[in-house]
Amino acid sequence: MSKTLIGTAFAAALLLSAPAFAQTPAPAAPAAAAPAAKVAIPGGVFYKGLGPQQYAARDKLIGANVVNKDGTVIGDIKDLIMNSSNEVEGVLLGTGGILGAGEKEVGVRYSALVFSKKDGKTTISLPQATKEVIAALEPYGRGPKKSLVERAQDKLKALSDKTKEGAGPALEKAKEATKGAVEKAKELGSKAVEKTKEAVEVAKEKAQPQKP
């Protein structure tokens, strides 16, 4: 039996089956979600945007530098200190260290901070702070904090909830379309294998020596 002839027949069968794979229909795009029903927004609960007397703490406060009376930077604001009524009572000031390494956090009363604005730029100062005073302060006692595992679990739950919320019927339709495409590919693959087997059998017959 000629190995070359069988190899040629096998390759030809694969080429014949290639267009079938190439023409496999792509999974259908998920249908557009139906417009959401109009929801009544409760009054006195939400803001549409920042008012003239408001600002977002992360934009103007968290991370802002604090200077002493000489204008020298003594630290930056890391966090807010809240009371049991959810009101801001102070800030955590990160002092010393280099790029966060060896940094000490100290608690500062919000009323002790002085805010001044010049040329559209806000400066936050703590006039009572000197290098000696900052060095003498004990690190702020934060108390128990959430562990890294607990914070990771919170993030995972939030992600899971968002995924469930955004899935809906569109995700199910996408799953069905994908399943159909996979089944079609399997069917076409099976047909290609059968064609290859047939071609090999024909090649075997042709390779048999002819009887006189």
Residue 20 — pLDDT band, cuts 50, 70, 90? very low
pLDDT in tens, 90-103: 999 999 877 657 88
Rounded distance, CA 23 to CA 131, Å? Answer: 75
Average pLDDT over residues 54-76: 93
Instruction: Count how many domains the chain has.
Output: 1
Rounded distance, CA 130 to CA 68, Å? Answer: 7
Q: With respect to residue 114, please indicate whether it lies within any of the assigned structural domains.
A: yes
Q: Judging by DSSP bridges, how do beta strands 121-125 and 104-109 pair with one another?
A: unpaired
Rounded distance, CA 186 to CA 24, Å? Answer: 11
Q: What is the model's pTM? A: 0.52
Q: With respect to residue 193, please indicate whether it lies within any of the assigned structural domains.
A: no
Rounded distance, CA 52 to CA 194, Å? Answer: 75
Contact 118, 71 (CB under 8 A): no
Per the structure block, which two tokens stand in for 181?
Answer: 């495409």
Rounded distance, CA 157 to CA 149, Å? Answer: 12
Q: 11's torsion region: left (phi>0), alpha (psi -120 to 50) or beta? A: alpha
Q: With respect to residue 156, please indicate whether it lies within any of the assigned structural domains.
A: no
Backbone angles phi, psi at 44, to 5 degrees: 70, 25
Looking at residue 78, its pLDDT comes to: 95
Rounded distance, CA 203 to CA 12, Å? Answer: 11
What average pLDDT is seen over the chain? 78
Looking at residue 150, its pLDDT comes to: 75
Q: What is the CATH number of the domain that holds 106?
A: 2.30.30.240
Residue 212 — pLDDT band, cuts 50, 70, 90? low
Q: With respect to residue 191, please indicate whether it lies within any of the assigned structural domains.
A: no
Domain that holds residue 67: 57-144
* Residues facing 66 on adjacent strands: 75, 124
Give the Cβ contact number of residue 3 at 10 Å.
9
Q: With respect to residue 111, please indicate whether it lies within any of the assigned structural domains.
A: yes
Q: With respect to residue 64, please indicate whether it lies within any of the assigned structural domains.
A: yes
pLDDT in tens, 103-152: 899 999 999 999 999 888 899 999 999 989 999 999 998 876 666 777 77
Q: With respect to residue 122, please indicate whether it lies within any of the assigned structural domains.
A: yes
Rounded distance, CA 92 to CA 156, Å? Answer: 28
Q: With respect to residue 155, please indicate whether it lies within any of the assigned structural domains.
A: no
